[in-house]
Amino acid sequence: MRGVLGVASLEMARRILLLPAAVVVGLMPFAVSPFLKLPPAGVQAMGLIVAWILVFVAAAILGASVIGGDLGAGRLSFFFSRPLSGASVFTGKVLAAILLTLLSGVLAAIPVLSMAGRPLRPTHLMSVSALHVGVALLVLGASHFLGVVIRARSPWLVLDVAMLTLSTWTLVELVHRLQTIGGRLPGDEFQALTTLAWAVAAAFFAAGLTQVVVGRTDLARGHRGASLTFWPLFLLIPAGLALHLRWLEGATPKDLTQAWQVRPAPAGEWVYLSGPTRGGMVSAFLVNTTTGAQHRISGGVGYGGVGPLAFAEEGTRVAWLPHAEDAAKPVLVLSDLGAAPLRQTTVVLTPPPPTSWPRQFVLGPGAERVLLVDPGLSVYNARTGGRELFVPDGLGHAFLAAAFVDPGRVRSYHAGPDGIEILEADLPVGRPVTRGRVSLPLRLEEPLRSRGPRLRFDRDGGRMVVLNRRPLRVALADARVGGEALDLPTSPGATAADAAFLEEGGIALAETDGEGTRLRLFTSEARPMGVVELPTAFDAVVVGAEPNRALVSLRNFPWAVARLAVVDTAALRLTRIEEGLAFTDADHGSGSRTVLLRGPTELVRYDALTGERKVLFRP
């Protein structure tokens, strides 16, 4: 220890002029502030920036010269002529370099930290982060390594260049892959960068220690020892990143901590799930709730989940739009869940749709075509990716919804001030033809995407309920040919409403106002059947309908856990309230609307008649 301190004190004495020079540098902001007209806060910020620049410059100069300079000038043999080990020489010199580097930064920062009559306090120095110190140490260690490499001029330089190229390429590929799957490093970015800086600095110091202990005054031998020490240690970083990446990609549905998206197939037992998994990464899965089969699907660059996703009517084929790395080449992924092994095809959509996240995304019968709504209407061939139909959004109206009438025909609904226009087009080359108009004056508000009318269809697509939000108006209309709409009366003070068709053909309308929440029931001809009072809620959504039963999801706040109200539509009474059951993303009118979410991740199929809950999936 005495030898280490002796070397350090000698080294600091040789370079002590760096400290008064740092004080002079710290006064520079005061000298230039009158010319730059900087306010006191600007002077202080400039002083801190100058102090940190001085730290990094001092680290680079000291790192390159504290040992490498003595080696090149032949002065290092002086220390080995004394009873000192190589480790003591290296430790003493590096300790002196670190102290001089950090002290220069502190002395340069003192003038601006104590300006405006505020004395310097120890808490000011606590603002120095571990990342700043780690980067300064990294610069010091890297400068020493480079100084030895440049002075040695040995054949080991070929190894250094090869390893630098390989490790850089590996790190870039791993980081790109991490970004592609939406993964994150352990901790936040600041912690990850801090750990990386200290780890690389430690590798450089280990290499420097080997260089002095093994090479002593022989530059070539020291270079060999430094390279053989540094690169194996440095390669632990990409190796660790690769292991972390493999761990993230190995996530399964059992790793879900919360289900953000739950979309049951309209038929069969497949369910789409997405949410945070390992390391907080968002992952997406297709899970068969009967067999337990599961597939992790990729959402594209920068996102672990997927964007728009749709099941075919039979429930065994699914399509989604991943986040494309090249916005000019968006892709469609089509997967056949009934095939073993899983069969998946990817096609490029040409030309690109107006948006990569449409308001509506539908997979047609036979999984032959997909349609996208927002802002216009686009239909693509799911096999080739070619666009077969495009209807741009016109002035004064908007596309509200669209559906496939059959595999070769699509029907769409346009909103305008005078009502809703119903268009149909034959595929692949047909032009939209007006089939009817729903006479229903609407006051449209921008943006239509979030405030426009909503449509609720019955199972065969023959009828629809129109819900206009502002002002609130609910009406029943023919979804095929239009005509006059039949108003479904709501309370004068109602502020929100949702509706769904009942199994018997009637309509359930949930409304909320300042006085409470209620469910209004109507016949198939829009005649009132009765009203059932429900617990007061911020939001009420009709999530399912079974024979003589209607299911209404109630939330007191947007982020609150939902309750499920079960209403006997024949007896016109509330039969039970189920706590902790939330609705999923199944389409209105779908038979899978009774697949509900209990707790953060558990899926249950709910029997509205008996109240029985059958667990379909539990992580």
What pLDDT digit, counting tens, does each position of 23-65 carry?
Answer: 888 888 777 777 777 777 777 778 788 888 888 888 888 888 8
| Residue 176 sits in the same domain as residue 226 | yes
**Residue 271 belongs to what H/E stretch?**
strand 270-276
Question: Which of the pair, 432 or 619, is modelled with greater confidence?
Answer: 432
Rounded Cα distance between 337 and 318, Å, is 8
> At residue 94, what is the residue type?
V
Of 51-60, 62-71, 120-129, 197-206, the least confident: 120-129
> At residue 29, what is the residue type?
P
Query: How many domains are contained in the chain?
Result: 3
Residue 125 has pLDDT above 50, yes or no: no
User: Which residues fall within 8 angstroms of residue 497, CB to CB, at 6 or more apart?
Assistant: 467, 472, 474, 490, 509, 510, 511, 512
Residue 119 has pLDDT above 60, yes or no: no
What pLDDT digit, counting tens, does each position of 255-273 carry?
Answer: 888 888 888 888 888 888 8
Question: Which of the pair, 280 or 364, is modelled with greater confidence?
Answer: 364
Residue 236 has a pLDDT of 92
Residue 395 has a pLDDT of 46
- Most confident among 86-100, 106-120, 513-527, 602-616 (mean pLDDT): 513-527
Residue 325 has a pLDDT of 67
Residue 563 has a pLDDT of 85
Residue 301 has pLDDT above 50, yes or no: no
**Band of residue 123 on the pLDDT scale cut at 50, 70, 90:** very low
Taking residues 317-346, what's their average pLDDT?
83
Residue 394 has a pLDDT of 64
Residue 396 has a pLDDT of 45
Domain boundary among 206, 233, 249: 249
Residues of the chain with pLDDT > 70, as a percent, come to: 90
Residue 444 has a pLDDT of 58
Taking residues 244-251, what's their average pLDDT?
89
Question: Which of the pair, 385 or 616, is modelled with greater confidence?
Answer: 385
**Band of residue 73 on the pLDDT scale cut at 50, 70, 90:** low
Asked if residue 110 is part of any domain, the answer here is yes
Rounded Cα distance between 477 and 439, Å, is 9
| Residue 138 sits in the same domain as residue 94 | no
62: helix, strand or coil: helix
Q: Average pLDDT, whole number, for the chain?
A: 82
| Residue 87 sits in the same domain as residue 136 | no
Count of CA atoms in the C-beta half-sphere (13 A) of 320: 21
Residue 124 has a pLDDT of 45
| Residue 76 sits in the same domain as residue 118 | yes
Asked if residue 362 is part of any domain, the answer here is no
Expressed as residue numbers, the domain containing 93 is: 1-126
Radius of gyration of the chain (CA): 35
**Band of residue 305 on the pLDDT scale cut at 50, 70, 90:** low
Helix, strand, coil percent content, the chain, rounded in steps of 5: 35, 30, 35
Residues of the chain with pLDDT > 90, as a percent, come to: 20
- Most confident among 183-187, 280-284, 319-323, 529-533 (mean pLDDT): 529-533
| Residue 2 sits in the same domain as residue 113 | yes
Residues of 342-354 as b/e, b for ≥16 C-beta within 10 angstroms?
A: eeeeebebeebbb
Domain boundary among 209, 226, 249: 249
Residue 29, φ and ψ in degrees, nearest 5: -55, -35
**Band of residue 303 on the pLDDT scale cut at 50, 70, 90:** low
Residues forming beta bridges with residue 415, ordered by sequence position: 398, 420
Threshold 0.75, pTM exceeds: yes
Token pair, residue 175, equals 């980081």
Domain boundary among 216, 249, 282: 249
User: Which residues fall within 8 angstroms of residue 131, CB to CB, at 6 or more apart?
Assistant: 190, 193, 194, 197
| Residue 53 sits in the same domain as residue 115 | yes
Which is nearest to 7 in space by CA: 85, 93, 78? 93
**Band of residue 302 on the pLDDT scale cut at 50, 70, 90:** very low
| Residue 109 sits in the same domain as residue 178 | no
Asked if residue 350 is part of any domain, the answer here is no
Residue 97 has a pLDDT of 86
Question: Which of the pair, 397 or 344, is modelled with greater confidence?
Answer: 344
Residue 120 has a pLDDT of 47
What pLDDT digit, counting tens, does each position of 128-175 carry?
Answer: 577 888 888 888 888 888 888 888 788 888 888 888 899 989 988 998
Residue 445 has a pLDDT of 55
| Residue 58 sits in the same domain as residue 81 | yes
| Residue 181 sits in the same domain as residue 212 | yes
| Residue 8 sits in the same domain as residue 117 | yes
Which is nearest to 435 in space by CA: 481, 479, 478, 391? 481
Asked if residue 93 is part of any domain, the answer here is yes
Rounded Cα distance between 319 and 298, Å, is 12
Of 67-76, 131-140, 141-150, 568-577, the least confident: 67-76
Residue 578 has a pLDDT of 86
| Residue 120 sits in the same domain as residue 148 | no
Asked if residue 175 is part of any domain, the answer here is yes
Residue 616 has a pLDDT of 81
Asked if residue 78 is part of any domain, the answer here is yes
